[in-house]
Chains A and B, each alone.
Chain A
């Protein structure tokens, strides 16, 4: 009887440990920082901000920071699922270098970030483009130049003809 009790308690402990381990291992982000030559960069502070959306507005629900070790690595364990239960969305900020967005469905995500190209491969600031054309056509006068000259000539010819007609009318009076 006592043996069964010990076995049951042991089983319960293993189960609880398993559940805890599963919860703790829900998601992990590994960031490895390297320089232009591919060498690990140690001692840089990396911040992870995970955000969720509430009616379209982003809200940070978890924030953590770490300093890259000798291998240039930083690890972030995310023990709870996001409030909306969907994908994990976040921003990794490397102090003094820039940011990179992260998006993943859970589990382990490994990122190798080359610091001199951290913000490459994405859109520039959303409104930078708007400033350039904003849906309005960019005016390039030289493309219109032949047309403008032709319209001017045509208008000149019309006015000249009209003047000649008027002159003819006056001459008849």
Chain B
């Protein structure tokens, strides 16, 4: 009798462990996506996390602490004609405000002018790749397809230059900084050495063909993240560009962050091209 009870407990408990392991294995074999740090895994077919909430009532608002700036594709830089859509949809999904700009080609007359395959570049000075979601074949991923989300960081401690006059400065590589608290340390000889902390601002680049960065890695302004494609909820090659502020700020108007020359941001009038 006791022997049967022991067997019963063993099979029930052991069986459960085996079942869980096999389920995890089948998920891994069926094309697990590349996911970033801090992302909850939802078992089968993780889709990454949507950028976050927000409202659409701050159109044109500029935030002084917004570190995001620049044109996100190496394609007709600062030519507004490649903007194919601008919209804000609150509660696109529960907790997700879809506020973005679609950059596509207005010059579809010539195949060579297609934005497909064009490089998508980092638009923060320093960022950490928060999510890098890529699958082949691409998954729906809440309509985002393959995407990268970069979290903007700012330097907080310099070990080598107490008061840097310009940035990124080139330090003499004699020592690495000792970061305190939650600051993240990154060191690259001849380029930078600093402790960084998050600003809470995030930029999401969607519908990508490929993802060239790993989740958790440090990226600098202009660094290529991937290439433009048509994955997810998309009617053609384009980049959906979305910026989210920390906390309750949520999604913000990306249009005011392009910072293209010839535009007087205070007056709202172009100074000439």
Contacts and interface: CB of A to CB of B under 8 A. Distances in A.
Interface string A106-140: 11111111100101111110111110111101101
Contacts, number: 198
A110 B107 CA distance: 10
A131 B135 CA distance: 22
Contact of A165 (B4, B45, B88, B104): B4
Contact of B106 (A113, A130, A172): A113
B120 to A, nearest CB: 14
Interface in B29-86: 30, 42, 44-45, 47, 50, 55-60, 80-81, 83-86
A143 B18 CA distance: 17
Interface string A133-162: 111011010011011001100100110011
B61 to A, nearest CB: 9
A11 B92 CA distance: 57
Interface residues of A, number: 65
Interface in B88-113: 88-90, 92-96, 98, 101-102, 104-110
Which secondary structure dominates where chain A touches chain B?
Answer: mixed
Given A122-B104, A122-B235, A158-B8, A101 B42 contact: no
B26 interface: yes
Given A86-B256, A112-B106, A126-B92, A150 B86 contact: no
Contacts of A119: 235
Contacts of B22: 146-147, 150
A17 interface: no
Contacts of A104: 80-81, 83
B229 to A, nearest CB: 11
B236 A117 contact: yes
Contact of A121 (B59, B105, B263): B105
Contacts of B89: 126
Given A105-B263, A106-B269, A119-B235, A158 B12 contact: yes
29 contacts: A53-B57, A56-B55, A56-B88, A86-B60, A86-B268, A101-B83, A107-B270, A109-B81, A111-B81, A114-B108, A114-B109, A124-B235, A126-B87, A126-B89, A129-B140, A129-B233, A130-B92, A138-B140, A143-B27, A143-B45, A150-B22, A150-B23, A151-B19, A154-B15, A154-B19, A158-B12, A161-B7, A165-B8, A172-B1
Top 10 A-B residue pairs of the complex, sorted by shortest distance between their CB atoms: A121-B104, A120-B236, A56-B57, A107-B270, A129-B143, A86-B60, A121-B236, A53-B59, A104-B80, A122-B85
Interface of B: 1, 4-5, 7-8, 11-12, 15-16, 18-19, 22-23, 26-27, 30, 42, 44-45, 47, 50, 55-60, 80-81, 83-90, 92-96, 98, 101-102, 104-110, 115, 140, 142-143, 232-238, 240, 255-256, 260, 262-263, 267-270, 272-273
